[in-house]
Structure 1
């Protein structure tokens, strides 16, 4: 893993983790966030994940996937970090994983819905800039 951020001395940086989950068709699982003014990126399509509770980023993403959607993906791989500059300010660790199931059957505990999207359809969605950057970086680096 490598980072695109420069770490500075000072208070601990708030951290989080998200997962880019793909199925065998190469579609990406996105999460439509609640439309609440008290959360970062309300009513945006995002990746499943969340804030760490003082744990390693891999533990965070596994816990969040289970809590939010009862999801246990395969082949979890740490990718890179991106800061959510225009939202929470958190340093977010991105992971990749795969899961081949029916997303409509997952027990969604927060947010509005989960849906797989083909990469070519992402441009029509409202996605937080740091999530969009992470997805594009992931797609550019994966084997054809």
Structure 2
């Protein structure tokens, strides 16, 4: 495993996110609210968030996924990526998990953001997606 493709580390990650794919290889992305005060307002991003104090990363991503989409699916640790843009450098690395689900994204009970939608990898470069999400998808595609 390369340095970029290491397993998520509980002592270093300050965020969690999940790469959810369907049988067509599409990625489930979340359109974030375009409001001041949140990370990546108005961007399409992976589902995720921040662990509570002393919360294991695997528990944090399962909780965030359930809270934001109502989904409870098997997840597997994948890798960790760093937010490299200047305004987010202090946020720390993001532990990534992966899972599969093949349902209707628009039927999920969205509790945060604008919408959830499936996107093929060919469309993602044309969307407004945070660089760390683009990197996560690139690494996932290469694995």
Deviations 1:33-70 (A, max 9, x none): 00012011110000001000121111111000000110
Alignment of 1:51-62 (within 5 A): 51-53=50-52, 54-62=54-62
Partners of 2:107 and 2:137 lie apart in 1 by 24
Work out the number of aligned pairs and report it. 134
Per-residue deviation, 1:14 = 6.2
Moved beyond 6 Å, runs of 4+: none
Q: TM-score, length-normalised on structure 1?
A: 0.86
Task: Provide the secondary structure at the position in 1 that maps to 2:67.
Answer: helix
Partners of 2:94 and 2:103 lie apart in 1 by 26
Give the structure 2 partner of residue 29 of structure 1.
28
CA contact (8 A) 1:3 1:82 kept: no
Per-residue deviation, 1:72 = 1.4
Deviations 1:72-99 (A, max 9, x none): 123x111111122322623110111001
Per-residue deviation, 1:3 = 5.2
Partners of 1:84 and 1:132 lie apart in 2 by 11
Q: Greater strand share, 1 or 2?
A: 1
Q: TM-score, length-normalised on structure 2?
A: 0.86
Partners of 1:43 and 1:19 lie apart in 2 by 19
Alignment of 1:4-83 (within 5 A): 4=4, 15-53=14-52, 54-74=54-74, 76-83=75-82
What are structure 2's unaligned runs of at least 5 residues?
5-10
Partners of 1:68 and 1:2 lie apart in 2 by 31
